[in-house]
Amino acid sequence: MLLSGSRNLLWIVPLAMLVTSPVWKPALEEFLSPHGSLKVKSGSQAPDQSFELTEVQLSRYENGQADLVLHAARVQSGRRGADSLQLTKVDALLYDQGRERAHITGGEGFYDGDRQILTIVEDAAVMVKNSYELHADALRYLIPYKTVKTATAISFTSKDFTVHGIGMSYNLANGAYRVGGIGGRVVCDVNEK
């Protein structure tokens, strides 16, 4: 009489499962375990911090005065995170002590925030306020030194002369130009009036 009735089944079924679990539990675990080369990742993955912006103006200030004002049609995060930027259709104004010194344009560029270098490639051009114009395949603007440099072939023109060479350096702060490098060749055409 003890085992008759539905109330007795409420405690007999769980008791029977508990007593017989050493027999059926390993087979159930084998059946439910994942097979193959499933790898479980532990911890959470860092969120993606890449970005892309269009029609962007970036400004850099030093001692409360504009140092660099850069316009780009498109800006993407670089490979090294937010401190590096990939730029498209670059148009930059360079300043020294609040005065506009040069205007740089180019097709593509890269800004390295850690080393403070703006690199322009694809038809790089520099126009300086004193009517000098420089064209090169690629150039770099070293922001801490206020210097534009290139190691590629250049064409440097003014209203009075044209210089062709390989390599160039221009310091915005003191206006010093240096065309040609070690083993480089320089050709200068002077326009007579």
Residue type, 183: G
Query: What are the structure tokens assigned to 45, written together?
Result: 């993955």
Q: What is the mean pLDDT of residues 22-49?
A: 73
In a domain, 36, yes or no: no
pLDDT of amino acid 2: 53
In a domain, 24, yes or no: no
The predicted-structure confidence for 116-172, as pLDDT tens digits, reads as follows 899 998 889 888 876 788 888 899 989 888 888 988 888 888 888 888 888 888 888
Q: What is the mean pLDDT of the chain?
A: 80
Is the pTM value of this prediction over 0.85?
A: no
The CATH number for 131's domain is 2.60.450.10
Name the residue range of residue 176's domain: 52-190
Picking from 53-57, 70-74, 86-90, 176-180, which range would have the lowest pLDDT averaged per residue?
A: 176-180
pLDDT of amino acid 81: 65
pLDDT of amino acid 91: 92
Number of H helices, E strands in the chain: 1, 10
pLDDT of amino acid 188: 61
Q: For the chain, how many structural domains are there in total?
A: 1
- Rounded Cα distance, 191 and 193, in Å: 7
In a domain, 101, yes or no: yes
> Could you give the count of Cα atoms lying within 13 Å of 170 in the half-sphere of its Cβ?
24
